[in-house]
Amino acid sequence: MPKKLITFGEVMMRLSPPGYEKFSQASSFELVYGGGEANAAISCAYLGMKAAHVTRFPDNALGKAATQFLRKHWLSTEHVIYGDQMMGKYFLEKGAVHRSSEVIYEREGSAFSQIKPSMINWEEVLRDADWFHWTGITPAISEGAAQCCLEAIKTANKLGITVSGDINSRSNMWKYGRPMQEVIPSLTEYSDVVITSSRGIREMFGIGNDEDSFKSLSKQLIAANPHIKKVVKKTRRTLSASHHQIQGKIWNGKKYIKTDMLNITHIIDRVGTGDAFAAGLIYGLLHFDDEKAIDFAASACALKHTVPGDVNTVSLENVISLMQGNTSGAIVR
């Protein structure tokens, strides 16, 4: 029986100039949909898991189109709800070589930002799930979204479901009166797996200092939050907009594991690579030991850089092939 993942968060419309055009050159935009949690769910679905995404879309044609996008990519949408009229969106200008990518968000007042805990029956949603995944973006959107996220996490705990949080957030998103230093710790204290960075641990929890290593900070985070079992990090070295290097790291409470550095020399699309890492980690921890799981996560992340759009549509075989050292990209017949 395939393992089942439930994710929760906003899905936005992504609008990009064709190819690598700048906004000032564009006369049309390419449209796809994406959101950190849904991206992770879709990635896991392509790896062979069952996956469902919980969100709130506007009650109009755009909301229905976004729902169809999720269904097209193998997600169950039975727990999607509808209301209000605005779809969150963002505009992406893709960078290349020495020119950075640029993102402009339009999400304030979106249908998802108006979500309330009373709108979702989490016991029903999570009834047969193996894993629940959230990110630090969702509780930054609104008080209602933060409350929904906490309720989902506590329900997952009650039902014995593993919870992961990709907690790296954007400080400029927190506009509804509560800082991330107040909200994020209240969510991670009930999470089993935390994906973050050294900076994230210092900023969100007030733990450690600039001289502390990720291993040391992870130990301190688990000591302060005994429910957390594993702390995970994706290290990225940016040599240019088109050339990055990726490495995965995990502290599992007993052992510190690092992957080899993966060299990504010709990036097609940078967006969604962190979500691909999270999805690879979820799949890996459900099916492998920690060492193989973090290797799987880094390989899935590296492959997403070759896929246009927000979501990672590579197969289980693609990821395992890269894990085994096949970096040739030779045609498969």
Per residue in 156-172, pLDDT (tens digit) is 999 999 999 999 878 78
The pLDDT value recorded for residue 144 is: 98
Number of domain units in the chain: 1
CATH number of the CATH domain containing 274: 3.40.1190.20
Any domain includes 67: yes
- pLDDT tens-digit series, residues 241-256: 899 999 999 999 999 9
- In the beta sheet, which residues pair with residue 15? 31, 91
The residue type found at 275 is D
Any domain includes 86: yes
Any domain includes 330: no
Quickly count: other Cβ atoms within 10 Å of residue 31's Cβ: 12
Any domain includes 333: no
pLDDT grade for 192, boundaries at 50, 70 and 90: very high
Residue 158 is encoded by which pair of tokens?
């009650």
**pLDDT at 277 exceeding the cut of 70:** yes
The pLDDT value recorded for residue 68 is: 98
Residue 307 is encoded by which pair of tokens?
């896929």
175-187 average pLDDT score: 95
Any domain includes 332: no
**pLDDT at 204 exceeding the cut of 80:** yes
Quickly count: other Cβ atoms within 10 Å of residue 164's Cβ: 24
Asked if residue 300 lies in contact with residue 279, where contact means CB atoms within 8 angstroms, the answer is: yes
Q: Which domain holds residue 66?
A: 4-322
The pLDDT value recorded for residue 330 is: 58
Any domain includes 306: yes
**pLDDT at 333 exceeding the cut of 80:** no
Contacts of residue 146, defined as CB under 8 A and 6 or more positions apart, other chains included, come to 138, 139, 140, 178, 183, 187
Any domain includes 246: yes
- pLDDT tens-digit series, residues 290-332: 999 999 999 999 999 999 999 999 999 999 999 999 887 755 5
pTM of the entire predicted model: 0.95
DSSP 72-92: HTT-B-TT-EE-SSPPPEEEE
Any domain includes 329: no
